[in-house]
């Protein structure tokens, strides 16, 4: 039977399991919750598969990934999704590794890159930045990195595809420093140039870790450890060159410093080849050893919720219309504190209303499994979450509210109009709700009027979702007229008059009252900015 509103009958589900306990603190300390940030094609899917291979996936790893049917994880919950053959479904892969429970949150990329991709970074404790050895830092990686930096998420860097010809390792370190202002601290250093990957120098011990190919990389690569003396004898020049390069870096202060990593100023760097499963175990070991476990989360009152406090969590993504038959809505909740047990009744901080969690699930791709228990760092999927919006807090016993997830800088803009006359009421209601849910940002200006709001998005897919839902859910099909803007900044009110009647620029106001200046491109922005009061423009994400 499908979950329905009737199941929100709270009397049958007393609040349970929320008491502070040392066990919860212990479970939290075992968690590592992270996302991979990368540009399309850097190897994120391959790395995800390799991680699942190296670890014991708690869910059905075979159903989740698997070389042959990778495209099979694409879900088909929406017609448009099927049409385009892309996945809108954000996924959470949970697996056990050593004594830890690892939660890998997917960051949708490619054509499904959207504000959700950024929001995922509000729900992780660390990020792995995957860099293609031949391409260096690419635009999407750069954007996602900036979001990590703004949110204080520490980043581990993996240079991937070292089995192929690519840039010089030192040149990649230089890119990290100059382009991202991020101090690299290699934990391993490649032995053999890109394209001739023998293994890595373990920077901490000076040992050589030799990688041996397994056919197709389908199984875990064999890593053999040799002392430096042995490696100098057997590997020769390639090893001594690696030693020299690393010594050079180390002499200029690139040794490992945990504080610098956790503060976001520096990044540990590993070299590997996801497709050959080289370096994947080192990444897992690094996550376990260095990535922070869930910790107390700041709340809106200036305090912090300790992980051992009663249950709390916040919604970082809503997936609507996944199942046409039931029009169900799935809210992804990152657990911040306490033990979550399925069936417990939690309180929705915004409304003070109870929310029953009988249908809590763990979610990966189209696979959904009933979830009975979760701890800080875990992600739960709540079915039938019609009352929840992105950023909402849920708690048990002790009240708490977490800061909302900030809105990010949109890069796509379009005027929305009701395509059918006489549906103005549905149009207004629908647009307002989509804005509140964070499907798109809704911007207004006096000049454009209430009938023609501007929808703004990080990725164009958000427009497709908005269009689909306006027609099928709110009964008001819309027409979208693209606007030629690509850059947005927050702007101070005193600068607004100067933005009137400027070509390639416009001022718009967001629902939360923030004024945005939008521009055709960065060059247009620079030329307009010269005429504005100093400091009138500021970046939006954070
Ligand atoms: P993405 O999710 O980041 O978009 O990247 P994905 O894993 O799909 O990888 C993109 C391409 O790069 C794939 O090749 C994949 O096999 C390849 N790749 C990933 N990691 C490595 C690596 O370490 N070394 C090398 N040489 N290649 C790597 P494809 O031809 O597009 O697909 P496929 O047919 O090989 O699956």
Full 3-state SS string of 470-532: HHHCCCCCEEEEEECCCEEEEECHHHHHHHCCCCCEEEEEECCCCEEEEECCHHHHHHHHCCC
Q: What is the mean pLDDT of residues 121-128?
A: 97
Rounded to whole angstroms, the Cα distance separating 77 from 459 reads 19
Mean pLDDT, the chain, rounded, equals 85
Mean pLDDT lowest among 110-114, 277-281, 532-536? 110-114
- The residue to mutate among 35, 38, 41, having the most atoms of ligand 1 within 8 angstroms of its beta carbon, is 41
Count H helices, E strands: the chain? 14, 32
Question: Of 79-88, 248-257, 314-323, 496-505, which gets the smallest average pLDDT?
Answer: 79-88
Q: Which of 38, 43, 48, 218 to mutate to test the pocket of ligand 1 (most atoms within 8 A of CB)?
A: 43
Q: What pLDDT is stored for residue 541 in this prediction? A: 67
Q: Is the pLDDT assigned to residue 121 strictly greater than 60? A: yes
Binding residues for GTP: 106-110
CA of 17 to the centre of ligand 1 (A): 43
pLDDT (0 to 100) of residue 3: 34
**Inter-CA distances, 468 with 43, 44, 312, 475, 492, Å:** 31, 29, 33, 10, 34
Q: Counting atoms of ligand 1 from 1, which one is nearest the CA of 278? A: 23
In this predicted structure, what is the pLDDT of residue 61?
31
- The pLDDT value recorded for residue 111 is 72
Question: Which of the residue ranges 54-68, 171-185, 373-387, 456-470 would you say has the lowest mean pLDDT?
Answer: 54-68
pLDDT at 20 over 70: no
Beta bridge partners of 155: 127
Average pLDDT for 24-41: 96
The pLDDT value recorded for residue 252 is 82
Nearest to 495 by CA among 503, 510, 507: 507
Q: Model confidence at 27, in pLDDT bands (50, 70, 90)?
A: very high
Q: State yes or no: pLDDT of 17 exceeds 80.
A: no
pLDDT digits (tens, 9 = 90+) for 139-157: 999 999 999 999 999 999 9
Residue with tokens 């504080």: 259
- Look-up of token digits 């760097």: 269
3-state SS, residue 111: helix
Ligand 1 atom closest to the CA of 109, numbered from 1: 4
| Residue of 112 and 327 predicted with greater confidence | 112
Q: What values do phi and psi take at 336, rounded to 5? A: -105, -35
Statement: residue 294 has pLDDT above 50:
yes
Q: What is the pLDDT of residue 441?
A: 95
Distance 222 CA to ligand 1 centre (A): 20
Give the pLDDT of residue 376. 97
* CA separation for the pair 413, 397 (Å, rounded): 42
The whole-number average pLDDT for the span 445-462 is: 93
| Candidate of 47, 48, 275 to mutate for ligand 1, largest count of ligand atoms within 8 Å of Cβ | 275
Residue 39 Cα: closest atom of ligand 1: 3
| Average pLDDT estimate for 441-459 | 94
Report the 10 Å Cβ neighbour count for 513. 6
Lowest-confidence pick of 63-77, 187-201, 509-523: 63-77
Contact, 106 vs 119, CB < 8 A?
Answer: no
Could you tell me the distance, in angstroms and rounded to a whole number, from the CA of residue 161 to the centre of ligand 1?
A: 8
Output the pLDDT for position 69: 37
Pick the range with the lowest mean pLDDT from 209-218, 235-244, 295-304, 436-445: 209-218
Numbered residues of the known binding site: 106-110
Alpha carbon distance 111, 461 (integer Å): 7
Residue 441 parent element (H or E): strand 441-444
As a whole number of angstroms, the distance between CA 539 and CA 407 comes to 11
Q: Which residue has the higher pLDDT, 146 or 113?
A: 146
pLDDT at 84: 38
Q: For residue 83, is pLDDT > 70?
A: no
Percent of the residues in the chain that have a pLDDT greater than 70, as a whole number: 84
Q: Which of residues 509 and 75 earns the better pLDDT score?
A: 509
pLDDT at residue number 74: 30
Q: How many angstroms separate the alpha carbon of residue 275 from the centre of ligand 1?
A: 7
Ligand 1 cavity residues, CB under 6 Å: 38, 40-46, 160-161, 163-164, 273-275
181 neighbors 199 (Cβ within 8 angstroms) = no
The residue-averaged pLDDT of 419-443 equals 92
Nearest-atom number in ligand 1 for the CA of 160 is 23
CB 57 within 8 A of CB 365: no
């Amino acid at each position: 039977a499908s979950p329905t509103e009737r199941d929100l009958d709270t009397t049958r589900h007393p609040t349970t399991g929320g008491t502070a306990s040392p066990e919860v603190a212990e479970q939290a300390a075992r968690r590592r919750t992270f996302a991979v940030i990368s540009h399309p094609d850097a190897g994120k899917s391959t790395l995800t598969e390799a991680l699942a291979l190296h670890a014991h996936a708690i869910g059905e790893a075979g159903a989740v990934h698997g070389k042959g049917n990778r495209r099979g994880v694409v879900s088909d919950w929406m017609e448009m999704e099927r049409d385009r053959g892309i996945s809108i479904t954000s996924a959470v892969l949970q697996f056990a590794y050593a004594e830890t429970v690892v939660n890998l949150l997917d960051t949708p990329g490619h054509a499904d890159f959207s504000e959700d991709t950024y929001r995922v970074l509000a729900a992780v404790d660390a990020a792995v930045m995957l860099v293609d050895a031949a391409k260096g830092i690419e635009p999407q990686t750069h954007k996602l990195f900036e979001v990590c930096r703004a949110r204080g998420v520490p980043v581990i860097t993996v240079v991937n595809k070292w089995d192929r010809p690519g840039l010089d390792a030192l040149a990649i370190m230089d890119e990290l420093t100059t382009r991202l202002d991020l101090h690299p601290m290699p934990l391993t250093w490649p032995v053999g140039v890109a394209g001739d990957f023998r293994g890595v120098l373990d920077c901490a011990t000076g040992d050589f870790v030799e990688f041996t190919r397994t056919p197709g990389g389908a199984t875990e690569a064999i890593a053999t450890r040799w002392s430096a003396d042995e490696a100098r004898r057997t590997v020769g020049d390639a090893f001594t060159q690696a030693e020299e390069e690393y010594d050079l870096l180390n002499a200029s202060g690139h040794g490992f410093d945990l504080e610098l990593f956790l503060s976001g100023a520096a990044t540990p760097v590993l070299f590997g080849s996801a497709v050959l499963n080289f370096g994947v175990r080192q990444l897992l070991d690094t996550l376990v050893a260095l990535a922070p476990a869930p910790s107390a989360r700041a709340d809106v009152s200036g305090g912090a919720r300790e992980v051992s406090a009663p249950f709390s969590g916040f919604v970082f993504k809503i997936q609507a219309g996944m199942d046409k038959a039931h029009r169900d809505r799935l809210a992804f909740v990152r657990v911040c504190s306490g033990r979550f047990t399925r069936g417990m009744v939690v309180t929705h901080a915004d409304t003070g209303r109870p929310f029953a969690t009988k249908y809590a699930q763990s979610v990966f791709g189209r696979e959904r499994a009933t979830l009975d228990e979760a701890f800080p760092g875990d992600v739960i999927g709540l079915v039938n979450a019609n009352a929840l919006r992105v950023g909402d807090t849920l708690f048990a016993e002790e009240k708490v509210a977490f800061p909302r997830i900030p809105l990010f800088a949109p890069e796509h803009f379009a005027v929305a109009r009701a395509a059918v006359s006489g549906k103005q009421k549905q149009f207004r209601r629908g647009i307002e709700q989509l804005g509140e849910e964070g499907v798109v940002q809704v911007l207004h200006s006096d000049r454009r009027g209430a009938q023609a709001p501007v929808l703004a998005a990080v990725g164009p897919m958000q427009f497709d979702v908005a269009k689909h839902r306006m027609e099928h859910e709110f009964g008001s099909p819309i027409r979208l007229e693209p606007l030629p803007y690509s850059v947005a900044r927050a702007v101070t009110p005193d600068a607004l008059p100067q933005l009137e009647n400027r070509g390639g620029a416009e001022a718009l106001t967001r629902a939360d009252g923030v004024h945005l200046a939008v521009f055709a491109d960065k060059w247009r922005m620079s030329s307009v900015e010269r005429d504005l009061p100093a400091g009138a423009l500021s970046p939006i994400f954070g």
